[in-house]
Structures are given as structure tokens and as C-alpha cells.
Chains A and B, each alone.
Chain A
Amino acid sequence: MREQLLKIIEKNSRIDLKELAVLLGVEEIDVVNEMAAMEADGTICGYHTLINWENTSIETVSALIEVRVTPQRGQGFDHIAERIYNYPEVNALYLISGGYDLLISLEGKTLKEISMFVSEKLAPLDSVLSTATHFILKKYKDHGTVLDKKKSDEREMIIL
């Protein structure tokens, strides 16, 4: 049940527990317990909303920043990662294999705010060797959801 439950709430965290129980064919209390257990063990990390900010009056700029760093003795990348992810404007941070080490997803109000972050906060960090900032021009798909596209039912009537 756990896997199916997660699949449903990953796409619809607002679904009510009673309905969830019906869809999964279990008792409501089992759903409540399972979700509580997963919240406790950190499997469920939060219930967020996917927002297409382009449709609002709030202007945001997002960027992906590739960072090359020197890992530190005894701590690997974890220490420098923590330094970086503690900034509230950092949306996501990943350790990456390949040509660079860390990938930052950053949200800012303006271009300037992002460039300030890079030049004043990120680049001066001792272990940061280099950065490359990519501004996001358009989001087509986020969290498995195609933004800005409404699907309509185009099936025609057929004898079946």
C-alpha cells in the first residue's frame, strides 16, 4: 500500500484521507497510521504546492548554478553543501557526478539578486573553485507536470 499511497499523494497532496482509503481499498485508520509513520521516518518530507509563478503578478527569476569545489578532509562534500543549502534562496542542492560537483537550483526576485548571491555569497567561499550560472528562460515541465497545458477529452463516440 505504501508505494501506491505515495504515488497518489505525490500528485495530489490535498486528497482527503477518507477518499485515499477508498482508492487504496483499505481502512481510513490504516492510511492515517501509514502517513504518520512516513512523516516520522522522513519518507514524507512535506506537502508542497506546485505553482506556475508565471501566471501570477510575482516576478521571480530562477537559475541553475554549477559549482566546482574542493572537498574537505574527513567531510567530503557535506560540509560545503551545508554552507550552501542554508541560504534560504537555495531551492535545491544536489551532488552531481561528472564535470562539476554541486548543482544549485536558485530562486530570486531579480537577476541582480541572483548575481549578488553568486558574486558575494557563493564565489567567495574558500572551497569553491568555480561557478557557472544558467538562467532558466522557461519552465515547460516541473515535478512531472506539464505547465500551462490543459488536456481535453477528445475521444469520439464509438460503438464499443
Chain B
Amino acid sequence: MRNPLADKVVEIKPSGIRKFFDLVSEMTDKDVVSLGVGEPDFDTPWHIREEGIYSLEKGRTSYTSNAGMKELKQEICNYINRKQGVTYNAANEVLVTVGGSEAIDVALRAMLNPGEEVLIPQPCYVSYDPCTVLAGGVPVAINLKAENEFRLTAQELRDAITDKTKVLILAFPNNPTGAIMEKKDLEAIAEVIIEKDIFVISDEIYSELSYAEDHVSIITLPGMRERTIMINGFSKAYSMTGWRLGYACGPANIITQMTKIHQFAIMCAPTTSQYAAIEALKNGDADVAEMRDVYNQRRRYLLHAFKEMGLDCFEPFGAFYVFPCIKEFGMTSDEFAMKFLETEKVAVVPGTAFGDCGEGFLRISYAYSLENLKKAMERLERFVKKLREEQK
């Protein structure tokens, strides 16, 4: 029999997180504390769930139009206008997708010709690289640096651009580092982007989880709206991960082609989720603010705990991750995470799962209760102390 598989797919490496989580799930010990999952620990606010339930009760169980319900698209436009002061036309500049992740995939497929390069600042979320490959593009990593608080600098961007570069993926607030890009940081790179005539896929799924000041999108800068696909969704802001709903906004010529792929591959995003999402956008601001306050308290708690145990960590102002440095222990991230899991039964994700330059770092998610975080920090302190004693 012939090989049924496509080489391109087989060659994609399985995610580093997977390997690690398989190990965790094999551990039957009840005492294991996981700080590994990157999804909110809150239930979706009840009034949003209720809208989903009502829609089912009313029998709203058919497809919606391909790009999403008109009312939802309009609410999305209103929301972006309210938050960023940028206007999109709901009729042809918005696509409702199955999570932000589908939007990433579809955007890349709509924009890449074979061999065109996609700049991917790392460490980053694990799917940009494989989605680029599957879309026929060539992923090019930009290794961000801890001393820049994992922000992308204009120089780093300039150095990475070749005449094959088509798209830059910008993912701030960032998973896994928690880094943000402030307006001045964005202005610096926007200049290069416009000069070199490349496009941006801006994954802003963590936009509502920004703790220093309100998130600024690159679409607000002059000349950027017309060359940016802005991606967001409901998972992180409204704690709606399982509803699988996201969206992309951008210039009509790109959104139209993305909608074409979406309509053939997916048809439309889940109807129940779309009804719930309308309620989220209309009446969910208070929920978002409340969850953000709680995340922020946990973030402060972790940073304080690191400081107490003398663990090096820059202050991340976004998402729900901290990214402490463990280079002082002379171990790889993998080794550290593994040993920590074995001896103290705490699961954290090695930084290398998010790109080679994550070596020497750990991703710790604070989408966990304060009690869990406390338990984990006590164990981390004990672990770190022991390692330091062994080093002497």
C-alpha cells in the first residue's frame, strides 16, 4: 500500500506541551498541582450561558450565514470601536470563526503564496508555526529577549525581513511570556512594517487581560488598519473557551478571501455560541473587569512569591502567564520542569515548548485559584532552596 500521508503533515513536530501533559495525566497522584493549562478557571458568566440556553430552547439550531450572524458582527464592530476607536464595516470586514485559532489558520491560508515567509516572534503560542507550514509558507522565528521584556523591537524586526517576507504575526498580550506591546513599541515597528510593505496578523485574544493600561491594538496606528488582520475572540475575555468562538477583522479584500475558505471548510461558527457571544458583547463588560481584577491579584501574588524566593522574573503586564527565568540552576527548562514534577508534583510548562528561545524559562499559568497557586509556590520555594543547596 502507498503511504497515505502527506509529508508536510508528518514532518510537523508534535507540540512540546503535549509530551509534558501526557506525563502529567499519567500521574494518578491526587496531590499533583497543575499550573499548566492556559484557559480561564472561571465558568462563563451565567447571563451569557443563559442566552445560549434560550437560543436552544427557541429552536435556533440551524446554520447562520457563513461569516456569522449580522447582529453579532455588528456587536463586534461596536466593541472594537468602543475599545480602539477604529471602525469596521460589519457587512464585509468581519468574519466570525471557530475560535481565534481558526482565524489564524484561515488568515495565513488566505495570504500566503508558496515559499513566502512569515515572521513569528518567539516564544509564542504553538500553532503559528505549523499553520504557516500547512498554508505553504515558511516560518521564520524572531527570538525575543528577556532584557526587552519579550517585546518585539524595530531592529529585531528589520533584521528578520527579507524580500520573501509577507506577514508578521504579532501576539500581544503574549502567551507564554505575559509580555505586552505599548503604543510606543507598536509605533516603532509600524514604521518598519509600512516601509517594508508587509502585513500583520495581530492575535489579540488576550486583549482584555492587560494590567498596566488598556490594551492598544496596532490597528489604531496610521496606515496599519489597511494592512492588518486583527484577531480576537471570546475564550479569554469572557471565559468561553469551550464555546469555540472568535473573529477576524480586516480590509474587505482579505476578509472576503478568508470567508471563502471558512465557508468551504467550516460553513459557519456554532450558532448557540453566536447567540451567547452577542450577550457577552452587549452586557459582559462588568464580568470582564471582575475577572481581570482577580487575575491581577494572582499575578501580583506570584511576582511577590518569586521575589521572596529570589527567582528572576520580569514583570509581565498581560494575559495570565508569568515566565520566570531558571538559568541559575544550570538545567534545561525540560529538566527543571520534569524534576519539579517528579519531586514536588507541580506541573509547569517548559519555556522551550514555545520556541527555542524559551530555553531557561518556565511558563506558569495563573488561571488557577489562589489556594492552588499558594500550594504550588510553597513547593517551588522548597524545590529552589534544595537546588541552591545542592549547587554549593
Query: Hey, which chain B residues are within 8 Å of A160, CB to CB?
Result: 17, 37-39, 125-126, 175
Q: Does B314 contact A (CB under 8 A)?
A: no
Query: Hey, which chain B residues are within 8 Å of A19, CB to CB?
Result: 301
Q: Does B65 contact A (CB under 8 A)?
A: no
Q: Does A7 contact B (CB under 8 A)?
A: yes
- CB atoms of B175 and A157 under 8 A apart: no
> Who on chain A is nearest to B296 by CB?
A25
**A23: shortest Cβ distance to chain B, in Å?**
4
Q: B106-133: which residues lie under 8 A (CB-CB) from chain A?
A: 125-126
> Who on chain A is nearest to B304 by CB?
A22
- CB atoms of B293 and A7 under 8 A apart: yes
Q: B21-54: which residues lie under 8 A (CB-CB) from chain A?
A: 21-22, 24-25, 36-39, 41
* Most chain A CB within a 10 A radius of its CB, from B25, B175, B304: B304
Select which of B175, B297, B368 is within 8 A of A8 by beta carbon. Answer: B297
Q: Does A40 contact B (CB under 8 A)?
A: no
Q: B160-176: which residues lie under 8 A (CB-CB) from chain A?
A: 175
- CB atoms of B297 and A24 under 8 A apart: yes
Contact status of A23 and B301, CB under 8 A, knowing A155-B37, A155-B41, A159-B18? yes
Contact status of A158 and B41, CB under 8 A, knowing A4-B293, A8-B297, A22-B304? no
Q: Does B300 contact A (CB under 8 A)?
A: yes
Distance between Cα atoms of A22 and B126 in the complex (Å): 32
**B94: shortest Cβ distance to chain A, in Å?**
25
Query: Hey, which chain B residues are within 8 Å of A23, CB to CB?
Result: 297-298, 300-301, 370
- CB atoms of B297 and A157 under 8 A apart: no
Contact status of A159 and B126, CB under 8 A, knowing A4-B293, A23-B297, A153-B41? yes
Question: Given A157-B36, A159-B21, 20 more contacts at CB 8 Å?
Answer: A19-B301, A22-B301, A22-B304, A23-B298, A23-B370, A24-B300, A25-B300, A153-B41, A153-B368, A155-B41, A157-B21, A157-B24, A158-B37, A159-B17, A159-B126, A160-B17, A160-B38, A160-B125, A160-B126, A160-B175
The 5 closest A-B CB pairs, nearest first, are A160-B38, A23-B297, A157-B21, A22-B304, A159-B15
24 contacts between A and B (CB under 8 A): A4-B297, A7-B293, A19-B301, A22-B301, A22-B304, A23-B297, A24-B300, A25-B296, A25-B300, A155-B37, A155-B39, A157-B24, A157-B25, A157-B36, A158-B37, A158-B38, A159-B15, A159-B17, A159-B21, A160-B17, A160-B37, A160-B39, A160-B125, A160-B175
